[in-house]
Copies of this chain bind each other. A is one copy, B any other.
Amino acid sequence: MTKLAETPQPPYYAVIFTSLRTHADNGYNEMSEIMLDLASKQDGFLGVDSARNKVGITVSYWKDTESIKNWKLNSMHTIAREKGRSEWYSQFRVRIAMVERDYKFEK
Protein backbone atom coordinates (compact mmCIF):
# COMPACT_ATOMS: atom_id res chain seq x y z
CA MET A 1 0.00 0.00 0.00
CA THR A 2 1.19 3.46 -0.84
CA LYS A 3 2.04 5.51 2.21
CA LEU A 4 3.27 8.96 3.01
CA ALA A 5 6.46 9.22 5.04
CA GLU A 6 5.96 9.48 8.80
CA THR A 7 8.43 11.69 10.62
CA PRO A 8 9.03 12.56 14.28
CA GLN A 9 8.38 15.93 15.91
CA PRO A 10 10.37 18.77 14.33
CA PRO A 11 13.04 19.93 14.14
CA TYR A 12 14.53 17.53 11.60
CA TYR A 13 15.95 17.98 8.10
CA ALA A 14 14.58 17.55 4.58
CA VAL A 15 16.66 17.08 1.44
CA ILE A 16 14.54 18.26 -1.48
CA PHE A 17 15.83 16.77 -4.75
CA THR A 18 14.12 17.97 -7.94
CA SER A 19 15.22 16.73 -11.35
CA LEU A 20 14.61 16.40 -15.06
CA ARG A 21 15.71 13.13 -16.65
CA THR A 22 17.60 12.52 -19.86
CA HIS A 23 16.28 9.77 -22.15
CA ALA A 24 19.05 7.44 -21.05
CA ASP A 25 17.98 4.46 -18.97
CA ASN A 26 21.11 2.34 -18.38
CA GLY A 27 20.11 0.95 -15.03
CA TYR A 28 18.37 4.04 -13.66
CA ASN A 29 15.42 2.22 -12.09
CA GLU A 30 17.59 -0.47 -10.54
CA MET A 31 19.95 2.14 -9.11
CA SER A 32 17.02 4.15 -7.72
CA GLU A 33 15.79 1.13 -5.83
CA ILE A 34 19.24 0.25 -4.54
CA MET A 35 19.78 3.84 -3.37
CA LEU A 36 16.40 4.02 -1.60
CA ASP A 37 17.14 0.75 0.15
CA LEU A 38 20.65 1.82 1.10
CA ALA A 39 19.55 5.30 2.28
CA SER A 40 16.91 3.75 4.52
CA LYS A 41 19.65 1.85 6.35
CA GLN A 42 21.72 4.92 7.20
CA ASP A 43 21.89 6.36 10.69
CA GLY A 44 19.56 9.30 10.98
CA PHE A 45 17.35 8.38 8.02
CA LEU A 46 13.70 9.15 8.88
CA GLY A 47 11.76 8.55 5.66
CA VAL A 48 11.30 9.47 2.02
CA ASP A 49 8.56 10.60 -0.39
CA SER A 50 9.02 10.40 -4.14
CA ALA A 51 7.00 11.20 -7.29
CA ARG A 52 7.78 11.82 -10.94
CA ASN A 53 5.88 13.14 -13.93
CA LYS A 54 8.18 15.18 -16.13
CA VAL A 55 9.61 16.76 -13.03
CA GLY A 56 10.82 14.31 -10.41
CA ILE A 57 10.73 15.18 -6.73
CA THR A 58 12.29 13.12 -3.96
CA VAL A 59 12.19 14.46 -0.44
CA SER A 60 14.19 12.50 2.12
CA TYR A 61 14.00 13.25 5.83
CA TRP A 62 16.96 13.11 8.18
CA LYS A 63 17.67 13.56 11.86
CA ASP A 64 20.37 16.21 11.39
CA THR A 65 22.94 17.64 8.96
CA GLU A 66 25.54 15.13 10.16
CA SER A 67 23.46 12.19 8.89
CA ILE A 68 22.94 13.98 5.54
CA LYS A 69 26.68 14.53 5.25
CA ASN A 70 27.46 10.89 6.06
CA TRP A 71 25.02 9.70 3.41
CA LYS A 72 26.64 12.04 0.89
CA LEU A 73 30.02 10.47 1.67
CA ASN A 74 28.72 6.90 1.26
CA SER A 75 30.80 5.36 -1.53
CA MET A 76 27.93 3.60 -3.36
CA HIS A 77 25.93 6.80 -3.23
CA THR A 78 28.88 8.74 -4.62
CA ILE A 79 29.09 6.37 -7.58
CA ALA A 80 25.33 6.71 -8.18
CA ARG A 81 25.58 10.51 -8.09
CA GLU A 82 28.36 10.46 -10.66
CA LYS A 83 26.19 8.31 -12.97
CA GLY A 84 23.35 10.75 -12.32
CA ARG A 85 25.43 13.65 -13.59
CA SER A 86 26.94 11.82 -16.54
CA GLU A 87 23.86 9.92 -17.73
CA TRP A 88 20.50 10.18 -16.03
CA TYR A 89 19.78 13.82 -15.27
CA SER A 90 19.73 16.83 -17.56
CA GLN A 91 19.11 19.12 -14.57
CA PHE A 92 18.71 18.84 -10.85
CA ARG A 93 18.48 20.96 -7.72
CA VAL A 94 19.27 19.91 -4.17
CA ARG A 95 17.94 21.91 -1.24
CA ILE A 96 18.86 21.22 2.38
CA ALA A 97 16.14 22.52 4.68
CA MET A 98 15.38 22.41 8.40
CA VAL A 99 11.77 21.43 9.04
CA GLU A 100 10.45 23.77 11.71
CA ARG A 101 6.77 22.81 11.79
CA ASP A 102 4.57 20.12 10.32
CA TYR A 103 1.00 18.94 10.51
CA LYS A 104 -1.01 16.16 9.02
CA PHE A 105 -4.50 15.23 7.94
CA GLU A 106 -5.93 11.72 7.78
CA LYS A 107 -9.45 10.64 6.98
A59 within 8 A of partner (CB):
yes
The one of B4, B54, B89, B94 in contact with A91, judged by C-beta atoms closer than 8 angstroms, is: B4
Contact A91 B106 (CB under 8 A): yes
Chain A, interface SS category: strand
The answer to whether A85 and B97 touch across the interface, beta carbons within 8 angstroms, is no
Contact B105 A89 (CB under 8 A): yes
Whether A93 pairs with B53 at a CB distance below 8 angstroms is no
B49–A2 contact, CB under 8 A? Answer: no
Question: A98 and B98: CB pair below 8 A?
Answer: yes
Residues of A whose CB lies within 8 Å of any CB of B are 2, 4-5, 7, 10, 14, 16, 18-20, 22, 49-57, 59, 85, 89-107
